[in-house]
Amino acid sequence: MHPAVSVIFFTVMSGAGLGMIFLLGLGFPVDASAAWVFLVGVVGGGLAVAGLLASTFHLGHPERAWRALSQWRSSWLSREGIAAIATLILFGIYVLIWLATGSRHQVLGLLSALGAALTVFTTSMIYAQLKTVPQWHSRLTPVVYCGFALGSGWLLASALGTHEAPEYWGIGLIGLAWAAKWMWWARASRSRLGDAGSTPETATGLGFIGKVRLLERPHTGENYLTREMVHRIGRKHASRLRMLALVLGGIVPALVLAIVGLSGAPALVNLLAAVSMLIGLLAERWLFFAEAEHAVSLYYGHR
Amino acid sequence: MTSLPATTEKRLGLVIDLDTCVGCHACAVNCKEWNTGAGASPLADIDAYGSDVSGAWLNRIHTFEVTPDDAPAQIVHFPKSCLHCDDAPCVTVCPTGASHKRPEDGIVLVTEDLCIGCGLCAWACPYGAREMDPVENVMKKCTLCVDRIYSETLPEEDRIPACVRTCPSSARHFGDFNDPESDVSRLVAERGGIDLMPEMETHPVNKYLPPRPKTRPQAAAPSAAAPASVPKADGFLGWLDAALDKLG
């Protein structure tokens, strides 16, 4: 699959923002001045909004994006749009009340936390629902998305909030998220198109005669299908990118957290861990798309 | 509404005969021509006369080589367009309601004014039946020539999809699969029509008729590798022959 920068940026950034909203809604301690609370709210909400805006760059007609709110009965993408907007409105009101009164409205907080969790889940289901991409079509996909959102959200919240010794929790959450991703990678390596039972023989129905091989494409150049779904250039550096994702997204943040936790350095240093993790997740998300095999590639000569 | 209808009154679709298709691409060309000139927005191309041609087509003709274990390879031309699936995944993923399956005839259509061009329907389709229009930025797909088959102004014989009308080898047939007496239903029954990628559980309406078995040669032909005996030359050619032999 074509790794579109807008979608990669969207899923990583809005994931972190929504993870932070989830934690703040559940009552992650931020005992600080109103200005600082405002900043914390802007980081959480801002990342989620920036991600959502980036995702509209992926659309052919962004001005019609509001229409995507209508088909929640059948479409995960529609559900995601509704969940995201509802969550941001709830969280906005939650932060405004917090700023105005100095106290946090518990019910609104819980509702924004629930909304944030649902939004990340619906995002992941957009990919997990697709039978055409067997590597994505798994229950582990939502687990990984939620795990990374929670992990990166925790790092941001721990840097800006006043949780006591958040570093050990942070290391645990990063570890769990990467354990899920490790399982996802292991499953993906044995969930290629052929493993799911799709081959050029089933795609053409000609397997009863013999082995099927593409002789001629229908067109001499590229088309939308080959650019979008038969994209393979991104796989060139797969193993190096996987290492980069793991180091920047997991090992470096865990080391930073451990050093901060042991040395008693200010929690703000955890921001380094958060930034490193987000960069690592951009690489992880690139691979999520670039390594995915789509069924239509069977009509274009890929086994 | 992008939920699928439980059943449709008719199930209009195509039968494509892989035995008689000659791979001439006339169906794809006529499809492009009709759908560029007809009611909806044109099917656009980018750099149409340049070196990097690209554009939206609703019908594509692939060519495959199929090699049996015990016989030489054979060539199969393979036209591919929307299969108007009963369980069309492209419909249910659509967030706006642009993509829909009509309860009256089962045709899967895109309402272009509602399409936001997110591309998710194309991701959901295993067959590559949907292509983004590079100028309109909306998703395009086979309409089964809905503007021809219900036309009241076209001559009777033209009220079939453009690809079917133009096929010179009668490899394409159009009809209602809900009617067991229709041409398409009978062809599928007689020739053992098949679904593409049944494992995707899309339950396509369009069916493909497999190529008929090839006749195989009775006995192995004498080996072509053995050289035929060369008659002995005389006169000038004989001298030349001997001279060249001496040169080694």
Residues in CB range of A184: below 8 A, 6 or more apart: A138, A140, A141, A143, A144
Say whether pLDDT at A193 is over 60: yes
pLDDT at A162 over 90: no
pLDDT score, position B222: 55
* The pLDDT value given to residue B221: 56
- Give mean pLDDT, residues B203-214: 96
CA A19 to chain centre: 10
Residues 108-137 of A with CB under 8 A from B: 126, 129-133
Measured CA to CA, the distance from residue A166 to residue A260 in angstroms comes to: 10
Task: Tell me the β-bridge partners of B175.
Answer: B13
Burial class (CB in 10 A: 0-12, 13-18, 19+), A183: middle
Least confident span in A48-52, A86-90, A208-212, B98-102: A48-52
Asked if pLDDT for residue A218 goes beyond 70, the answer is yes
- For residue B232, pLDDT over 80 is answered with no
Q: Which of A130, A196, A224 sits opposite B56 (nearest CB)?
A: A224
Q: Which amino acid is at A239?
A: S
Which residues on chain B are in Cβ contact (under 8 Å) with A210?
66-69, 71, 73
Answer whether B54 sits within 8 Å of A221, measured CB to CB. Answer: yes
% chain A with pLDDT above 70: 99
In this complex, the residue of A61, A206, A222 whose CB is nearest that of residue B116 is A61
Question: Average pLDDT, stretch B95-102?
Answer: 96
Judge contact between A270 and A260, C-beta under 8 A.
yes
A75 reaches B (C-beta below 8 A) = yes
A67, A212, A228: residue with CB nearest B96 = A67
Annotate A12-40 with DSSP letters as a single string.
HHHHHHHHHHHHHHTT----S-HHHHHHH
Judge whether B27 is closer than 8 Å to chain A, CB to CB. no
Give dist(CA A98, CA A105) in Å, integer. 7
Neighbours of B108 (CB within 10 A): 25
Find chain B residues with C-beta within 8 A of A197's C-beta: 199
Q: How far apart are CA B159 and CA B151, in angstroms?
A: 7
Q: What is the ipTM of this complex?
A: 0.93
Instruction: Please report the pLDDT score of residue B224 as a whole number.
Output: 55
Q: Residue B231 has what DSSP assignment?
A: P
Does A301 contact chain B (CB < 8 Å)? no
Q: Which residues of chain B are within 8 Å of residue A206 when distances are taken between CB atoms?
A: 18, 64, 66, 76, 210-211
pLDDT in the model for residue A237: 84
pTM, rounded to two decimals: 0.91
Residue A111: in which H helix or E strand, if any?
helix A106-128
Mean pLDDT of A270-283: 96
Of the pLDDT bands very low, low, confident and very high (cuts 50, 70, 90), residue B45 is: very high
* Alpha-carbon gap: B142 to the closest alpha carbon of chain A (Å): 15
Contacts of residues A86-90 at CB distance under 8 Å and 24 or more positions apart, as own/partner, are: A86/A115, A87/A18, A87/A21, A87/A48, A87/A112, A87/A115, A87/A116, A87/A118, A87/A119, A88/A45, A88/A48, A88/A49, A90/A115
Q: Where are the domains of chain A?
A: 5-300
Residues with Cβ within 8 Å of A255's Cβ and at least 6 positions away in sequence, in order, are: none
Phi, psi of A228 (to 5 degrees): -85, -40
B120 pLDDT exceeds 60? yes
| Residues of chain A above pLDDT 90, percent | 81
Mean pLDDT (chain A) is 93
Tokens in use for B172? 């394409």
pLDDT category, A231, cuts 50, 70, 90?
confident
| SS3 assignment, position A85 | helix
Q: Do B211 and A209 touch (CB under 8 A)?
A: yes
Buried b (16+ CB within 10 A) or exposed e, A53-69: bbbbebbbbbebbebbe
**B72 touches A at CB < 8 Å:** no
b/e sequence B125-135, b meaning 16+ C-beta within 10 Å: bbbbbbbbbbe
Tokens 């060139």, located at residue? A236
- CB–CB of A78 and B96 under 8 A? yes
- B214, burial (CB in 10 Å: exposed 0-12, middle 13-18, buried 19+): exposed
Q: Which regions of B111-241 does DSSP assign to beta strands (E)?
A: 131-132, 139-140, 172-176, 207-209
Q: A74: closest CA among B106, B95, B8, B110?
A: B95
Per the model's pLDDT, the better-predicted residue between B152 and A55 turns out to be B152
B215-230 pLDDT, tens digit per residue, is 877 655 555 555 667 7
Q: Which class would CATH give A5-300? A: mainly alpha
Residues 209-228 of A with CB under 8 A from B: 209-225, 228
Cα distance between residue A288 and residue B158, in whole Å: 47
Which pLDDT value is given to residue A54?
A: 84
Residues of A in contact with B125 (CB under 8 A): 132, 296
| Total Cβ atoms within 10 A of residue B194 | 18
Interface contact A205-B194, CB threshold 8 A: yes
- A84 touching chain B per CB within 8 A: no
Interface of A with B in 160-219 (CB under 8 A): 196-198, 200, 202-206, 208-219
Residues A75, B4 contacting (CB under 8 angstroms): no
Whether residue B240 has pLDDT greater than 90: no
Is the CB of A203 less than 8 angstroms away from the CB of B196? Answer: yes
Higher-confidence residue: A44 or A52? A44
| Bridge partner residues of B17 (DSSP) | B209
Helix (H), strand (E) counts: chain A: 11, 1
H/E run at residue B42: none
Domain ranges (residues) in chain B: 12-209
Q: What is the pLDDT of residue B244?
A: 87
C-alpha span between A169 and A150 (Å, rounded): 11
Strand bridging mode B59-67 / B139-140: unpaired
* C-alpha to C-alpha distance for A137 and A125, rounded to whole angstroms: 9
CB-based contact (8 Å) between B123 and chain A? yes
Does domain B12-209 correspond to CATH entry 3.90.550.10? no
In this complex, do A71 and B211 lie within 8 Å of one another by their Cβ atoms?
no
Tell me the two tokens of residue B36.
Answer: 């560029």
pLDDT surpasses 90 at A236: no
Q: Is B192 on the interface with A (CB under 8 A)?
A: no
Provide the pLDDT for residue B1.
57
Of A26-35, A171-180, A282-291, the poorest mean pLDDT is in: A26-35
Q: Residues of A with CB below 8 A from B76's CB?
A: 204, 206
Query: What are B60's strand-pairing partners?
Result: B80
Unique residue bearing structure tokens 């050990």: A168
Whole-number Cα distances in Å, B53 to A36, A301, B25, B127 = 55, 20, 17, 22
Higher local confidence (pLDDT), A273 or A164: A273
Would you state the pLDDT for residue B226?
56
- CB-based contacts of A212, cutoff 8 Å, min separation 6: A199, A200, A201, A203, A204, A206, B64, B65, B66
Mean of the pLDDT values across residues A233-256?
Answer: 91
CA nearest B106: which of B80, B142, B67?
B142
Closest CB to A198 among B66, B96, B199: B199
Helix (H) or strand (E) holding A256: helix A252-263
The SS3 of residue A244 is helix
- How far B206 CA sits from the closest chain A CA (Å)? 13
Q: What is the C-alpha separation between A70 and A86, in angstroms, rounded?
A: 14
State whether B64 and A71 contact (CB < 8 Å). Answer: no
Tokens of A122: 């619906």
Tokens for B26, please give them: 């006339």
Q: Give contacts of A223 with chain B, Cβ < 8 Å.
A: 54-57, 131
